[in-house]
Structure 1
């Protein structure tokens, strides 16, 4: 048979090589032995080919004859010179490649030489059919001419080894070229081949180690894809969840085999957040908060506040405020609590939270913009709006280009309705997803720096003692109860009061009909353009990591001193960068070309349909969930569907049953394809699973997991899209 090699390539020399160069190359090639896993037969075949190439080229007469053949070959048609060389389609390659004729028993040595020359794809293309041929022969009982299947010294094992190494090296090449998914496919193919033949466990472990190190890159590449690439993006999130599970949390110290230490992993999470939506981050980090994880809790708070404010869902803001209550038992999160209180219309609670805060720079800003006012609320409103727009929204993919204002938020009738019906006294104990233990000082240390690190303007000062924290918590509880009792004015009045707090009078007050008056200019000076938000400085994740590590060592006081020093340094530097192997990612840069990260335009009807139906499915999960929270239904449904589902939620609560829902959604069609239309008809495929509980016990008979094709009728009301009715498509 003929192979796509020539004597010059075998020796690694050009055609102009001198006799001395031939001799030296021959000696070097013989001394450079392949991996020790190769059989003696494969090594001998390789040596025989190298010796043959040297024997021909070192003989002047034979070299002249061979050069004539070699040079004349370039004038041939490709099909005349094709031996084993073929394209993926099975047709002859459209390039000229010199060939030599060899005996079949020398084939493992020839493939080994091609591997050493870096012809990885050619080795795979030619080696896989040969492996399949061996397997077929063995199954048919015709393997007499070959070594037994699985014999590590046989021809088959040499072929498997060469092809597996080719997959490994090809994957590493693709990794260097930033083709992370292609690299993973190559590495997995090599690993699976070795597992199938049950050969070379050491090489299999080497490939698996590369796959673990590749996971952060793959996760970033996949979640950065356009939002319509749902399956691929879910795979990226699954990779992230697997890493979190292996590490035992976002601030965990277990080894996930990615090669990332605590510092690198936290900054990797920070870069990845910019490619995740508010819904994805809320789901991800609320699960992290369950471990419990202080960093996960704080990131969940950000997601809840961002989603609640942008989508006008104060119930989410209220959940964030409740989670902050737990963090406040040990850390200074009073600025975040003040922002939540403003969004919930709790002006007294907002003022008290500011009194307790020790954040010097934000408080100075708030005081400066409240001059002449009886309290700090004007400056707080300005701070809250800028903080949300500049420090929170840019870390959410679906909000990065969104401009939201307090005026619009409080003008929403669903917000007013929720605030009107909010209980007069909120619980001060833990009410989200079960009570959690926060006695671990390491978690406290981690949360202490997360405010600065996870995109916040405020950093947690450390050093609060247990007694002072407990006293602060008790006073907060009493103050909250007092504030709620004092909250006797209507939500509309409270919203108007907050809307008028702008020091420049730019937050529009509400009219008597609940809508914003148009006589006042919009809040253009209180917001920033997307390009401005894009140029913000990266949060100081280096400080977070240092505090976490000190917390793990149990050095609380020393951690406080370092946090103060690094707080000063953070004003001058944007935080360290990931350097070297295995993850070279900078916080200010993306590993992908921004052109690849396009998101559907806001006026795209498919985006409108998807967001509207997603809002309905989330509202349904909340209304029929453990808390029977119906606040989201008004923002998701129009009549007659709204009343029907409100009644169903009340019935579920009375009968003491609830469901835990998960879903995925794919938009199939939207008509008309006009975002200015007043009504849309949408066909979508919904994958929904629900686990039901009756009296707190699982009800397996009622639980389900279905994939349905649904038709939704969407209607626009007050510039807001709602689901009016829906039915299953047969």
Structure 2
């Protein structure tokens, strides 16, 4: 069997390596044992290849002969030869697995195959490990059971472990590169293999822990996709719902095993809001508000107000107003209640809510822009427009560029009537 390895790569050295570097590399690699889950046979197979590489390269005459063939393989190309297109993964286990006529490779004995896989794993050649190992787990497994690779059950378990670990490391590599869905696919492939074979529960748990920690990144990646990617965005919402269920809500104390504490998770929710539409946030946060959740209730108010104003639907504003009543016993929401009352044309109620508010900064702004008026409605109108424009709309992917105009809202909203004095006074100040 030919394997796409060379003695220098086995020891992790360049062709210019000195004799001392060869000794040190051989010693270091021999001391760096594989994971404890591997069989003694796999460890011995790996050591046999390390010893073989060192024996050849440490002998000046053998190294000279090897180098001449090595360089020929590396630099001599067949005239007119062109790279062939990638072929699909073979179902049968090939005898010259992965070998290319112009890539340095070595001939190994069958019982060294698992050792070669371990060395490729050490080198970070995870995709090559998958290409070489996976055929032996399907139709090619008959070759393993024949016994020429060693004791069939042990060899098969070692190959399963190596392929699963390659999936794990490939997933982590893709995770670091920001390819979160690809990383999830690689991790789940390794996990499913271990589940199917009923092997290595510890490694399976390690993969599952990574999948849990990867989940917030997947949610953000999927929900950030354009809205026409309905299937992918739906999957992102499902993952988010799973996390919320395991945490007992946005501000819950449950453990979704993502590693995010409550503050981290609130920042995560704040970040993903910009990827959701007002309608999506309304459905999500109204549902979460039923747990009950103060944070979800407040976010549902934002979504209802944003959508109600943008779509000229006072019925949604009324729902926001009802949700605010749940919060009024625990926090000062009088300013938001005043805005709701204003959008519903309930000016006396809006003025009363402003009198109760302890939000001194906004109230000072409202008073300043209501000078000369018998009430605070002109300032409230200006505040409401700026609040929507600067603090509410930017958190919705479909409203981030929406303009907030009370004049348009009252002109087009069925059931909402703009009081006469607001019409006359407010916009002459803008």
TM bracket, shorter-chain basis: over 0.9
Gaps of 5+ in 2: 91-97
Rounded to whole Å, the distance in 2 between the matches of 1:497 and 1:159 is: 81
Confirm whether residue 296 of structure 1 aligns to residue 296 of structure 2: yes
- CA drift of 1:24 comes to 1.1
Change in 2 beyond 3 A, CA 1:195/1:250: same
Equivalence for 1:228: 228
- CA drift of 1:503 comes to 5.8
Equivalence for 2:94: none
- CA drift of 1:330 comes to 2.4
8 Å Cα contact 2:2-2:99 kept in structure 1: no
Confirm whether residue 499 of structure 1 aligns to residue 418 of structure 2: no
8 Å Cα contact 1:87-1:93 kept in structure 2: no
Change in 2 beyond 3 A, CA 1:124/1:500: farther
> What CA deviation, in whole Å up to 9, does each residue of 1:425-457 have, x standing for no partner?
xxxxxxxxxxxxxxxxxxxxxxxxxxxxxxxxx
Alignment of 1:497-536 (within 5 A): 497-502=421-426, 504-506=428-430
Rounded to whole Å, the distance in 2 between the matches of 1:95 and 1:334 is: 77
Equivalence for 1:89: 88
Structure 2 length as normaliser, TM-score? 0.93
Equivalence for 2:329: 329
Gaps of 5+ in 1: 420-490, 507-730
- CA drift of 1:93 comes to 8.4
8 Å Cα contact 1:379-1:503 kept in structure 2: no
> What CA deviation, in whole Å up to 9, does each residue of 1:304-325 have, x standing for no partner?
0000000000000000001101
8 Å Cα contact 2:246-2:254 kept in structure 1: yes
Rounded to whole Å, the distance in 1 between the matches of 2:325 and 2:187 is: 47
Change in 2 beyond 3 A, CA 1:93/1:321: farther
8 Å Cα contact 1:134-1:143 kept in structure 2: no
Equivalence for 2:131: 125
Change in 2 beyond 3 A, CA 1:495/1:227: farther
SS of 1:34's equivalent in the other structure is coil
SS of 1:500's equivalent in the other structure is helix
8 Å Cα contact 2:222-2:232 kept in structure 1: yes
Equivalence for 1:356: 356
SS of 1:332's equivalent in the other structure is coil
SS of 1:345's equivalent in the other structure is coil
Rounded to whole Å, the distance in 1 between the matches of 2:55 and 2:146 is: 34
Rounded to whole Å, the distance in 2 between the matches of 1:359 and 1:108 is: 69
Rounded to whole Å, the distance in 1 between the matches of 2:419 and 2:176 is: 55
Confirm whether residue 315 of structure 1 aligns to residue 315 of structure 2: yes
Equivalence for 2:8: 8
Equivalence for 2:338: 338
Equivalence for 1:267: 267
8 Å Cα contact 1:253-1:262 kept in structure 2: yes
> What CA deviation, in whole Å up to 9, does each residue of 1:341-394 have, x standing for no partner?
000000000000001000100000000000000010000000001101110000
Rounded to whole Å, the distance in 2 between the matches of 1:271 and 1:95 is: 51
- CA drift of 1:126 comes to 1.2
- CA drift of 1:105 comes to 1.2
Equivalence for 1:98: 104
Change in 2 beyond 3 A, CA 1:21/1:121: same
Rounded to whole Å, the distance in 2 between the matches of 1:114 and 1:165 is: 12
Change in 2 beyond 3 A, CA 1:274/1:108: same
Equivalence for 1:239: 239
8 Å Cα contact 1:121-1:170 kept in structure 2: yes
Alignment of 1:162-311 (within 5 A): 162-311=162-311
- CA drift of 1:88 comes to 5.4
* Higher strand content, 1 or 2: 1
Rounded to whole Å, the distance in 1 between the matches of 2:257 and 2:211 is: 9
SS of 2:139's equivalent in the other structure is helix
Rounded to whole Å, the distance in 1 between the matches of 2:212 and 2:135 is: 29
8 Å Cα contact 1:212-1:257 kept in structure 2: yes
Rounded to whole Å, the distance in 1 between the matches of 2:100 and 2:69 is: 20
Structure 1 length as normaliser, TM-score? 0.55
Rounded to whole Å, the distance in 1 between the matches of 2:146 and 2:71 is: 40
Rounded to whole Å, the distance in 1 between the matches of 2:99 and 2:116 is: 19
Rounded to whole Å, the distance in 1 between the matches of 2:220 and 2:87 is: 30
SS of 1:504's equivalent in the other structure is helix
